[in-house]
Amino acid sequence: MAFIPTVDAEKCEGCEECVDVCPTEVFELQDGKAVPVNADECLGCDSCIEVCEPGAITVEET
Ligand code: SF4
Ligand code: SF4
């Protein structure tokens, strides 16, 4: 089972909450937007979804 986190850049406000909360450091801020640079490390814990106020993050289970 794998998890694929994605960020809708149109919705992302660059608050960095997902960068701070993710236990496996999936996200990095690039030009004010969160980018899932280590998507392969995602554990599917959904913590990033919970802290993202604008609802920019989706974690797909494959
Ligand atoms: S928590 Fe949401 S709004 Fe904040 S940086 Fe991450 S994706 Fe962007
Ligand atoms: S679901 Fe958990 S492990 Fe995956 S990107 Fe979000 S906070 Fe990180």
Residue 3 in contact with residue 26, Cβ under 8 Å? no
Distance between CA 2 and CA 35 in Å, rounded? 18
Length of the chain: 62
Residue-wise pLDDT tens digits, 1-46: 899 999 999 999 999 999 999 999 999 999 999 999 999 999 999 9
Give distance in angstroms: CA of 16 to centre of ligand 2.
13
Tally of domains within the chain: 1
CATH value at residue 55: 3.30.70.20
The pLDDT value given to residue 6: 98
57 is in which domain, residue-wise?
A: 3-61
In ligand 2, the atom with minimum distance to the C-alpha of 43 is 3
- Which residue's C-alpha comes closest to atom 4 of ligand 2? 42
Instruction: State both tokens at 42.
Output: 């995602």
